[in-house]
Structure 1
Amino acid sequence: MQCHFSLSIVYSFDGILVFGLLFICTCAYLKKVPRLNNWLLSEKKGVWGVFYKAAVIGTRLHIAVAVSCLAMAFYIVFLK
């Protein structure tokens, strides 16, 4: 069985969009877990601040992020 998924998806525009959406959704989910929220999302600046900012985007724009995830899933399943 051969896998058609390769690392070249990282270099495509839709691969970057998928990564960004999954990152935002994951950080928003981790914000709801108390121990991980204190550990991972406590910093608001610097490199670790990216996780905090993605969590804020995911929680404040949850409808737009959900619609974007559905649109990307439709694109990947039916159009690509």
Structure 2
Amino acid sequence: MTNVYSLDGILVFGLLFICTCAYLKKVPRINNWLLSEKKGVWGVFYKAAVIGTQLHIAVAFSCLAMAFYVVFLK
């Protein structure tokens, strides 16, 4: 179990946040409601979705590496 106060916990949270926002960008109603703002606090969701869609290969490999680390090494 990872906690959010460790470096690996922050990395897991960030990767899951990016993956979730990239997935939510594909849902039309949520895309219009949540990801329409590009600035401010709500802009974080938009920026995470852009990172998830533009760098999908790097994010996928990072998720696999983090899953391997959490399951086998920690």
TM-score (norm 2): 0.97
- 5 Å-filtered alignment, 1:1-80, equals 5=1, 9-80=3-74
Letter of the structure 2 residue corresponding to residue 38 of structure 1: N
Question: What is the count of residue pairs matched by the alignment?
Answer: 74
Point out which structure has higher relative CO (alpha carbons under 8 A, 6+ apart): 2
Letter of the structure 1 residue corresponding to residue 29 of structure 2: R
Shift of 1:42: 0.1
TM-score (norm 1): 0.90
Letter of the structure 2 residue corresponding to residue 45 of structure 1: K
After superposition, give the CA deviation of every residue in 1:26-66 in whole Å (9 maximum; x if it has no partner): 00000000000000000000000000000000000000000
Pairwise CA RMSD: 1.0
Structure 1: tracts of 5 or more residues without a match: none
Larger Rg: 1
Structure 2: tracts of 5 or more residues without a match: none
* Moved segments of 4+, more than 6 Å: none
